[in-house]
Amino acid sequence: MTGGFVIQASYFVAAVLFIIGLKRMSSPVTARGGIIWAGAGMVLATVVTFAWPGMENYLLMIAAIGVGGVLAWWSGKRVAMTDMPQMIALYNGMGGGAAAAIAAVELLGGETHGFVVTLLALLGALIGAVSFSGSLIAFAKLQGWMKKPIRFAAQNKTNAILLAATILAGIVILIQGHGGPTIVAVFFVLALAIGILVTVPIGGADMPVVISLYNALTGLAVAFEGFVLDNAAMIIAGTVVGSAGTLLTQLMAKAMNRSMTSVLFSGFGDAAVEGTEVEGTMKPIEASDAGVMMAFARKVIIIPGYGMAVAQAQHKIWELTQLLQERGVKVTFAIHPVAGRMPGHMNVLLAEAGVPYDIIYDLDEINQEFDNADVALVIGANDVVNPAARTDTSSPIYGMPILNADKADNVIIVKRGQGKGFSGIENALFFLDNSRMLYGDGQAVASELIHSIKEL
């Protein structure tokens, strides 16, 4: 009795640590501490699990933790910030897969469970398997291994038939109270196939929303399996992750003006629809002229995007900002919710470079400031500053909230070439009369801007 109380009390403390950690992760100022709090909770929950009554296979558990820990440490050290979205997709998929594996063990255990327990195990298995296979496809798309969406005739009908077959297999298991190897295998193969077929037709531009959705599903699957195992830590942690993932999905969908139905069943992101053809030409500018323009400005707003992350230009951009501030220029940063292909990506990069949090603003806070800005410097961003989202009703991104860079007196766009953005849509901003294209690698261009300002 005492041991059981200690275990449950420890799980409760671990759950509280998870919640505190998640709360602190909501702000860049406290995010690092939040990770430590949540990590402490995970360590506590893991250690206490070794004392669970009837627990066996300690050597196998320790080996699995060791292998997983080494791989996580190695990949965490090795992965570039530009690859963080696909890393999140991969890790999220592992969580869903783990929940599904727990369900498989319970269903194949030979014991007859009650109706509710079996139902929860099946729900966790279905959701976890779909999240696992779907997240792996999302990883492959973001990694560039799958270049194009895959579509075929009657795809949605095929998915519906697969779902119906999966539910039928689940009903058979539910009636039996447990499952034999054949019916359980059929159930999981069908569930994994659903995750694959639902994800392969989705375009790359929608992947951030898809990853957020699968994150929510993984949390839900873990919570269901927590009920099956009567594990309070899994129930609370899964519920918290599921809730956070749901809120994040809503945030991402709102930021892209997308509904989950349109994400899962339409073709945005594959450049199938271009919208109205953009008129005009792109007008280049030299770094020396752009530097002068910024140096004598009163107010400059910098808009970072994925291109800045690829070029690892955040440190040079901060150095440029400091030079401008020394000349009395007011410099702020404008961050779109999906800049960098996942929430917080740009915030992390800027924090890494030492940019103070008090000059970094999100879309809602900064948009009204563009009317009074002398220069908007766009470095590596594309779709999140495309005015077609406001003006072109035929554009796939019409209605998506964007940063109002086009309303600044002058717009300087740092870009490698004249290519289109991640969504494959031409950016009308590049052709406006007040826009100038500063071609080149983000880090090299930032260095040239710094040099030109220092020479003034």
User: Which residues are designated catalytic?
Assistant: 383
Q: Please list, residue by residue across 173-200, b when 16 or more beta carbons sit within 10 angstroms of its beta carbon and e when fewer do.
A: bbeeebbeeebbebbbebbbbbbbbbbb
Greatest Cα pair distance, the chain, in angstroms, is: 81
Q: With CA atoms as reference, report the closest residue to 207 among 265, 155, 254, 269.
A: 269
Contact 179, 173 (CB under 8 A): yes
Would you report the helix, strand and coil content of the chain in percent, each value rounded to 5?
A: 65, 5, 30
Which residue's entry shows tokens 């990949």?
75
Alpha-carbon distance of 387 to 318, in angstroms, equals: 27
Task: Give the torsion through C-alpha atoms of 15, 16, 20, 25, to 10 deg.
Answer: 0
Contact 255, 129 (CB under 8 A): no
Bridge partners, 414 (sequence order): 379, 438
Between 232-255 and 2-24, two packed helices, what is the crossing angle to 10 degrees? 20
Contact 41, 21 (CB under 8 A): yes
Start-to-end CA distance of the chain, whole Å, equals: 77
Alpha-carbon distance of 279 to 423, in angstroms, equals: 19
Contact 14, 32 (CB under 8 A): no
Q: With CA atoms as reference, report the closest residue to 220 among 96, 87, 135, 134.
A: 96
